[in-house]
Every structure is written in structure tokens, then in C-alpha cells.
Structure 1
Amino acid sequence: MKKLILALTLLLSFNSLTISAQNSEEAKALLEDVYNKVKSYDNIHVDFKYVLNNSEAGINQETRGDVTLQGDKYLGNFFGATQLYDGSKVYTIVPENEEVTIEDKSNDENALTPAKMLTFYREGHNYEMDILQNVNGRKILFVKLTPIDTNSEIKNILLGIDAETKHIYKVIETGKNGTTTTITVNTFKTDQTLSKTLFTFDEAKYKSDGYYIIKN
């Protein structure tokens, strides 16, 4: 009897591992489809809703923003500020303070920048398929990402993907401190006609407008 129970336990364990592996491979394949789709575009413009919530701390922040991406370069507007990356320097423009901060490109490869917004999931996570949701007639497949680094402050990330377009629709990040950050994509436009100077910072213009320039 003990041998039978042991055999059944091993069999069930094996089946669970097989299902888990298939689940993981399906999730990885889906994410690879998303990555290939994203990299096929010359540029991407995303309009999004951002919500930060921690009920225990009484925090609930909500804002809208947008970002235009082309290769590693980006121009984003959120929290009342504009951030521009021209390929070498990051410019943060805060109209309320009439201030511009100029920084060299971050050496922190783990930093989540707008340029990595649609591809950050490729490294440092374990994947598994999660739920399927119907959102206004769209099938949204969710993939659950768990950081490989056990010291990460992130508990898990749910990545919602439009099953038809293979575009990212929603990102839900849950921290170990109970904070939930949700980014929902309202519009996802590709291969737009962009100005040749879109990712160019005109320092002289801001100086003439009375902005204080900080160079770090």
C-alpha cells in the first residue's frame, strides 16, 4: 500500500510538473510573439491610465499619460512633467517649477524606463499563464510574471495581452508592501509620422523662456 501511495504521489507530481512546464512554455511563447510584434514597428505611441493604490497606507493616485517610443529614444508626459531621452541624455522638464534636469543615461540596466515599457518582461522573471478576460469584446490573455530574484520588492506582475493584436493592454504590478500599480493602455498607435526634431532638446529655447537648467 505504501508503495502504491508513493507511486501515485510521484505520478501526480510528474503530471503537475508537466502541466506547469507546458503552461510556462505557452506563456513564454506568447510573450515572444508580443516582443517580435513590438520590435517590428518603427515607432509606437501609447496613451495610458496609471493608478497607484495602497489601501492600508490610504494611498490612491490616478493620472493619465502618453509616451512615444522609437528604438531606445522616447518622449513621455506624465505627472505634470515631460521626459525626453535622445539616446544619450535624459531631460526632465517640469513646467510648474520652470525647471529642466539633464542627466547622462542611467547605468542601471535594471531601471524600468519608457523605452523598456513594452519589453521589460523578457529577463529576470518566471512565467505562467493566468486568466482570460473579455474586455469590451476583446480577449485579454494574462501572463503572471514572478521575479527570479527573491529579494525583489515586487511580488508579481500580471501582463494583459490582446490575443488578436498581441499588443500589451494592461500591466498590474503588486509589491510585497501591498502597493498595486496598474497601467492600462487606452490607445496603441504604431508607425506614426514623427517630427525629425521630436527627440531633440532645445536648451536655448528653455533658457529664453526663463527655465532653470540643472545638469547632473
Structure 2
Amino acid sequence: MKSTINELRNKNIKNVSIKYFQIIALLFFSFSIQAQDKKAKDLLNQVTAIVKSYDNIVIDFKYTLNNSKENINQNSKGNVTMKGNQYVLNFMGVTKIFDGKKSYTIVPEDEEVTVSTVNENDDSTITPSKMLTFFNSGYKCSMDILQDVKGRKIQYIKLVPLNAKDPRKEILLGIDAQTKHIYNLIETGKKGTKTTLTVNSFKTNQPLSKNQFTFVASKYPNYYINKLD
């Protein structure tokens, strides 16, 4: 009888010990994740501060879209010049100019210019300038791998959308550990589509024309001007 009681007592002590260590391990893991998330957020804040410190930014980039299930593999190049919320984007044969109030989409193939007013305060409005700071809200962030890319240390941060309806599963944001400039952005969709934007050159504080972000209609005499509002 005494032996049975001792066995039960030892079993209970063992079970309590296991649960105790499980709780300690869980708490340690939780604290580690919180510390990791804080480190990721701090790095993103540094990226944002540096981007906002420049008078203007000129970027040449490569864009890749892959979906093995649909047998899609597309590659494109483009460039964008930004100053504040103004920008000129050249991508896939289309030029888009935003002067701070109106957006002008120029399509040479169709000889058409589409003009529309843009509400910059609308969070759903995606602009090139926002692409450098989009990660400041709406995502759960955590540190990912540190990778050596041609001698550069690229620190990846994983971003998971908080909105369950977001079609993207996750985003990997690659940041140059030295310059704190964005190197690339890899989006993985819930349906298997992966898009990658890689920065080939990142120039700042360049001499720009006074009319850099001004649409000049006289340059497009035969184009149809489609005013949406």
C-alpha cells in the first residue's frame, strides 16, 4: 500500500514537473517571439526614417511573377522617380505621373492618357512612395533569415497580413543591413502566385527637372485624353 502511494506521489510530482517545464518553455518562447518582433519593428522604423530623410529617390527595379500551377513566368523591368508623394513610374510600357493631386496614366500603345484624381489619404490607394513604407501597419512582423547576396548582408523580415481577406499569405522584405535600404520584396499569394520586386539601383537626392512631375499635354498631340472625373 505504502509503495503504491509513493508511486502515485512520484507520478504526480513527475507530471507537475513536466507541466512546469512546459509552461516555462512556452513563456520563454513567447518572450523570444516578442523580442524578435520588436527587433523587426525597430528595423522597419529605421528603414522608414531613412526613406523620409531623402529629398528624392530614383529606383531601377526588376519584377518577376511566377505561378507554377498556372504555368506563368513573367519578367519585367521598370523605374520610378519619387519626391514626397509625387512620382513618375515607367513599367511594362506604361508611364504614370502623379503630381500630388492628379494621376496621368500614359499608354503609348493605345495613344491614350487617363486622368484621375487620387485621394492620398485613402489607405487602399497604393502608390510607389507607399511601397517603401507600406509595412508600418496592417501586418504582423518578425525577423527571418540573414542572407549573403553578392557580398551584401540582406536581413529578411516576414510580414503576415492581419486582414484574413488579404489574398497574400506572407511577404518577405529584404533589407540591406548596412544601408537600411530595401533590396527586394517577395510576396506569396494564398493561391500559389509569387511576385518578386528586386531593386537593381537605389539613388537618392538626384538633380531633377522642375517639370519632373508635371504632365505636359502638348507632348501627346494625337492622344485621346480620358478624364475620369
Q: 1:151 Cα shift?
A: 1.6
How far apart in 1 are the matches of 2:113 and 2:176? 37
| Corresponding position of 2:178 | 164
Task: Please point out which of 149, 155, 160 is paired with 1:146.
Answer: 160
How far apart in 2 are the matches of 1:151 and 1:7? 38
Q: What SS does the aligned partner of 1:51 have?
A: strand
2:165 is equivalent to residue 155 of structure 1: no
Task: Please point out which of 111, 129, 143 is paired with 1:115.
Answer: 129
Identity, in percent, stands at 51
Where structure 2 has 5 or more consecutive residues not aligned to the other structure, the ranges are 1-13
How far apart in 1 are the matches of 2:195 and 2:27? 36
Q: 1:176 Cα shift?
A: 0.5
Larger radius of gyration: 2
| Corresponding position of 2:28 | 15
User: Structure 1: which amino acid aligns with 2:207?
Assistant: T
How far apart in 1 are the matches of 2:55 and 2:154? 25
How far apart in 1 are the matches of 2:165 and 2:109? 37
How far apart in 1 are the matches of 2:128 and 2:193? 20
How far apart in 1 are the matches of 2:197 and 2:108? 24
Q: What CA RMSD, in Å, does the superposition of the two structures yield over aligned residues?
A: 1.0
How far apart in 2 are the matches of 1:151 and 1:117? 20
Task: Please point out which of 55, 67, 70 is paired with 2:68.
Answer: 55
Q: What SS does the aligned partner of 2:171 have?
A: strand
2:224 is equivalent to residue 212 of structure 1: yes
Q: 1:126 Cα shift?
A: 0.7
Q: 1:204 Cα shift?
A: 3.3
How far apart in 1 are the matches of 2:77 and 2:218? 29
Q: 1:106 Cα shift?
A: 4.3
The list of structure 1 runs, each at least 4 consecutive aligned residues, that deviate by more than 4 angstroms after superposition, is: none
Q: 1:109 Cα shift?
A: 1.5
1:130-174 CA deviation, whole Å, 9 max, x = no partner? 001111100000000001111211100000000000000000011
| Corresponding position of 1:188 | 202
User: Structure 2: which amino acid aligns with 1:22?
Assistant: A
User: Structure 2: which amino acid aligns with 1:194?
Assistant: L
Q: 1:203 Cα shift?
A: 1.9
2:148 is equivalent to residue 134 of structure 1: yes
How far apart in 2 are the matches of 1:109 and 1:57? 31
| Corresponding position of 2:80 | 67
Aligned residues: 214
2:59 is equivalent to residue 46 of structure 1: yes
Where structure 1 has 5 or more consecutive residues not aligned to the other structure, the ranges are none
User: Structure 1: which amino acid aligns with 2:102?
Assistant: K
1:8-43 CA deviation, whole Å, 9 max, x = no partner? 111010000011011100000001010000000000
